[in-house]
Homo-oligomer: A and B are copies of this chain.
Amino acid sequence: MLSFYICLRKIPPMTEPRINPNVSVDCVIFSFEDDGLEVLLIERNAGQNRIEDDLLALPGNLIYEDETLDAAANRVLRELTGLKNIYLEQVYTFGDPARINKQKDQDWLHSIRAHPEARVITVAYTSLVKKSNFKISPSSFARQAMWVKVKEVPQLAFDHNALLEKALEYLKHKIYIEPLGYELLPERFTLAQLQKLYEAILDDHFDKRNFRRKVLRTSFIIPLNEKQKGVAHKPAGLYRFDKSKFHKI
């Protein structure tokens, strides 16, 4: 019993972390499927008084007073979707005073926030993940979390369509600077998959031969001595990334 008591004393007091009412983070999580990019959205849940026909939103929430922005983004993503240990990068900060003024957004904020009228600026984060590596398990005020094709995203809550646009633009720039494949493709992938990924992100089309030549000139995309199996056509060779062979410009 004594040791149990001592153990209890070592547990820090369960004070609620203090919330900063003015700053939130939102996460724009992309995944790639063969027919394009998808983004992770949540369906808001207003506790008891469920609001029908509410808008989808990016996972996001207010930050705690004692956590960094990066930590907040990770926590919020985990709380709302169950996704853990995802490397997030900051994209842009949105701070229009009117960004939370739409009626539906106000209704929702009133149903879940202590200070629903407070000015909120939000810091957008983004990441690329392999859908299959993560199990979505919504909690907190997300009734559901789901992948939606980027080309089919409807009107979202707040200014979240603008956040999505900015994150896409960020991706496009970034893919020029470093290869983004290892985040999004399976460990072993075909060059056709890689090409489709580039075409999806850059919203463009490339010549197959030139693309292959360019890719194979790099030292970090490495052919394996394996082929696809069970496809109804000539099987493609498989490749992998060697992250260690890539060096930033």
Contacts and interface: CB of A to CB of B under 8 A. Distances in A.
Interface of A: 20-23, 63, 65-69, 90, 92-93, 95-97, 119, 121, 123, 173, 177
Contact of A97 (B21, B68, B90, B96): B68
B121 A95 contact: no
Given A90-B93, A95-B123, A121-B123, 12 more contacts: A20-B119, A21-B22, A22-B22, A23-B23, A63-B95, A65-B97, A69-B93, A69-B95, A69-B96, A90-B92, A93-B123, A173-B173
Nearest to A123: B93
A121 B21 CA distance: 12
Copies in the complex: 2
Contacts of A92: 90
A44 B23 CA distance: 27
B119 A95 contact: no
17 contacts: A20-B119, A21-B22, A23-B23, A23-B95, A65-B97, A67-B97, A68-B95, A68-B96, A68-B97, A69-B93, A69-B96, A69-B121, A90-B92, A95-B123, A121-B123, A173-B173, A173-B177
B123 A65 contact: no
A93 B26 CA distance: 13
Nearest to A67: B97
Contact of A22 (B23, B67, B93, B97): B23
Best-buried of A63, A90, A121, A123 by chain B (most CB within 10 Å) = A121
Contacts of A20: 22, 119
A76 to B, nearest CB: 14
Nearest to A94: B69
A115 to B, nearest CB: 12
A76 B126 CA distance: 29
Contacts of A93: 69, 90, 93, 123
B66 A121 contact: no
Nearest to A97: B66
Q: 4 smallest A-B Cβ distances: which pairs? A: A69-B95, A22-B22, A93-B93, A93-B123
Contacts of A177: 173
Best-buried of A93, A97, A173 by chain B (most CB within 10 Å) = A93
Contact of A119 (B65, B96, B119, B173): B65
A21 B23 CA distance: 11
A121 B69 CA distance: 9
